[in-house]
């Protein structure tokens, strides 16, 4: 599917889909990104949801957010996983949709990169 979208609609796809970078309105020196990705039709990645999609939200302070979600009895699917590009955890909404929460690693502001 990624290849089809790249070829026919011009999406700059990789193995992980396509990433679109943007600037944060309140502080244009900081970047953000939106990722578009497909999964095989028989993927188990969205389990335990029975839906054929997943919602992903960027969040701040995932540890504090998870504690608040637990207080509200939100279904937490797994534990926080940490990678070189951020922290992730999966939850379910009341309709059984799986939601991936992502706290990206802080990227240095452009003036910090330039030195």
Q: Has residue 49 been placed in a domain?
A: yes
Domain housing 95: 20-114
CATH classification at residue 25 = 3.30.720.110
pTM comes to 0.74
In a domain, 37, yes or no: yes
The whole-angstrom separation of Cα 14 and Cα 31 is: 20
What does the DSSP 8-state code read for residue 6? H
Asked whether 102 and 88 are in contact (CB, 8 A), the reply is: yes
Residues 6+ apart with CB under 8 A from 17: 2, 35, 36, 37, 38
Rounded distance, CA 76 to CA 90, Å?
Answer: 6
pLDDT tens digits, 22-75: 998 999 998 888 888 888 889 998 999 999 888 899 899 999 999 999 999 999
68-114 per-position pLDDT tens digit: 999 999 999 999 999 998 999 999 999 999 999 999 987 554 544 44
- Closest among 37, 57, 42 to 97, alpha carbons compared: 57
- Could you tell me if residue 100 is inside a domain? yes
């Amino acid at each position: 599917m990624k290849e089809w979208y790249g070829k026919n609609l011009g999406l700059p796809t990789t193995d992980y889909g396509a990433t679109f970078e943007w600037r944060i309105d309140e502080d244009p020196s900081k970047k953000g990104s939106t990722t578009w990705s497909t999964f095989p039709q028989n993927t188990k990645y969205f389990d335990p949801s029975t839906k054929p999609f997943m919602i992903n939200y960027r969040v701040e302070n995932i540890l504090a957010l998870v504690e608040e979600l637990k207080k509200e009895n939100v279904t937490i699917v797994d534990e926080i996983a940490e990678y070189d590009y951020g922290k992730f955890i999966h939850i379910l909404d009341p309709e059984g949709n799986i939601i991936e929460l992502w706290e990206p690693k802080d990227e240095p502001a452009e003036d910090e990169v330039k030195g």
